[in-house]
Every structure is written in C-alpha cells, then in structure tokens.
A = this chain, B = another copy of it.
Amino acid sequence: MVDVAHVAGVALSTVSRVVNADPTVGPDMIRRVENAIATLQYEPDERARQLRRGLSGTLGAAVRDVGSPFIGAAEKAARDAKMMLMWSSTNDDARLESEVVISLCRQRVDGLIVEPTGDQSSYLGRQIAKGLPVVAIDRPLAGVDADAVVSDNVGGITAAFDHLVASGHRRIFYLGDHERLFTGRQRADAFRECLSSIGGDPATAVYAGEVTAERIRAALDNALRRRPRPTALITGNDGTTIETLRHLGPEVAGLAIVAFDDLEFADIIRPPLTVIAQDHQAMGRAAVELLISRIRDPHLPTRRVTIPVRLIERGAVNRPSRRRQPATRA
C-alpha cells in the first residue's frame, strides 16, 4: 500500500480511502490511485485490515465431517451476508474439535458454528463464557447455554412410526445411533414413546449404538430372530440405513422400512426407500442467521430453532403378510 501511495504520489491514507470507497476522495485522486493499484497489481492484505479494524468478517465452523450437509447452505448464507466462512472437520473427535475451535478462535472469527461431539469440549464453554458467539447445529451444546439449530427429530420419528402403523404394522423396531449423541437419544426416545402408545414394549425393540457394520449386522440379526418376527424397521440415521441395506439388501429381508434422512439413491434402489428427510439447507441457513444476529446483539436470549422434517413416501410400505400383528395383546 505504501508502494501504491508512492507510485500515485499521494498519502497512504488516501490509498486506503480509495480502497475502501470513501466518498470524500476527489475523482482525479481516485483515478491516480487506481492506476497505481493496477500497475502494481496491488492486493490489500485482509489480515492487516482485520487486525486494525478489530473485526474479522469471518465465521468459523467446526463440523463433524467435510461432507456435513449443512455446510453448503451455511457457506452460501455467509457469502450473502458478506462474511467469509472458515471451517474444519472434527471427525466427531472431542480432541480434534477442541483443536479446531482453538485454531478458529486464534483466527479471531467473529462467531462459531459447531456440530458438537457428544463429549463436551470445556474449551468451547470457556470461549462462550468469554463472549464468543456460538451456535450449535444438529445437536445442542450439552451443559452450555447456546443457540442451537436442530431437526425435528421427535416429529420425524413420529411421522415414520405413524406411517408404518397406518400401513398395518405393529411389530416395529428401531435401529440407530448411539444415545450418547443428542440425535441418537432423541430419536430413540421418540420411538419408545411411539411404541408405548400402541402398547408395544420398547425394551426389546430399540437398538441404539455405534454405527459400525458389525454392530448393525448383529442388531439386525438379533431383531430378526425374535418371534413373532418384526415386520417393520425405522433406521435412525444415514449410516445405519446404508449398513442395513448392505446387510439385508435393498429388499430389507421383507421388512417395511422408513429411514431417517434422505439418501441420494433412495429413489434408485428397488424398492425405493421411504424416508424422513431433514432440511439441511434450512439448517445451515438458520445457523448462520442465528449467529449473525447474535454477533450483532450478544445480549439476545438463547434461541433454539427446530427445523421441520418431511416424510417422503417412495416405495409402498408393504403391509405385513397374513397373520395378526399386535406387538402385545394390546
């Protein structure tokens, strides 16, 4: 910038004014400076401006995975708000999450979106206490009072359940994520609630745990060995759905199935997969909006936004065959 000032034969501050489109600079000055900028191929240093200004104009995100589905929407929303989004993945590892958050804080992001691992990073709590605007996405932050954007997990599970019941199913089981995770817990609980309401016994129909091929296979095998045999299944997240399809094939061993969260290939497999689709776009957008509003006004009360989910009926959820099917003598 000094070079530009020198070449243009003006003061440093004038160059700065031109770069920042200050309306008080004269038109000839503007041209002289812009020429100098062009000849020097000058590019302002964003870090220096941020340092001086005290604001970074940057939002940070610590998400579970690079492919986290809200990121696309969040990036777009940030862009629309003229903020940059910097993000890193945590692989659902508390240590890594801590590292990522620290790194982002040292970059002095103006606010942080975090998809929290189950285990609470105490570091994050401290930053929030120090005034860092934070919004949790997908799962709320345990033990800390922070904004959050979550899916309507209960509504989704209930819709899936009702759909199966409406098709005549009674012997339904649930296979999903570990209840250590908020979403896993909420969905499993919602299922229990549903099952109880029709007189079923949740104790033998909820399989929650790690999403690994081995565990899911074992759970499926166990569930299918029960007599009377279950006729329907609700899977609690995409990883579970995929492993289930891998193990049982797209026909799911004759079970009716509703999967939590949509899959790219849900309409390709035969039979097509009926799903509860989360609105990732809306989640990402909402997270950025919440974050920006909190940056503007840190004293806002804590908000929790629940994003609706949608039942997408694809394959017919086949009726159970022949026999009677109450889960218990209801």
Show the binding face of A for B, using Cβ within 8 Å: 41, 43-48, 50-51, 56, 65-67, 71-72, 75, 84-86, 88-89, 102-103, 105-108, 126, 130, 242, 245-246, 249-250, 263-265, 267-270
Contact = CB atoms under 8 A, between A and B. Distances in A.
A265 B267 contact: no
A44 B267 contact: no
Contact of A72 (B66, B85, B108, B242): B66
A75 B91 CA distance: 12
15 contacts: A41-B126, A43-B106, A45-B51, A45-B108, A46-B103, A46-B106, A47-B56, A67-B67, A84-B88, A242-B265, A246-B267, A250-B269, A250-B270, A264-B264, A264-B265
Contact of A106 (B45, B86, B105): B45
Contacts of A269: 250, 265, 268-270
Closest 8 CB pairs of A and B: A46-B106, A265-B265, A66-B72, A47-B47, A245-B268, A46-B107, A66-B71, A67-B67
Find the residue from A43, A249, A267 having the highest chain B CB count within 10 A.
A43
A261 B136 CA distance: 34
A239 to B, nearest CB: 10
A253 to B, nearest CB: 14
A50 B106 CA distance: 11
Contact of A242 (B106, B250, B264): B264
B84 A75 contact: no
A130 B41 CA distance: 9
Contacts of A108: 45-47
Contacts of A245: 265, 268
Nearest to A73: B66
A2 to B, nearest CB: 15
Given A66-B67, A246-B267, A249-B270, 5 more contacts: A45-B51, A45-B108, A242-B265, A245-B265, A245-B268
Contacts of A71: 66
A245 B272 CA distance: 12
Given A265-B268, A269-B265, A51 B43 contact: no
Contacts of A86: 86
Contacts of A102: 43
A250 B267 CA distance: 10
Nearest to A245: B268
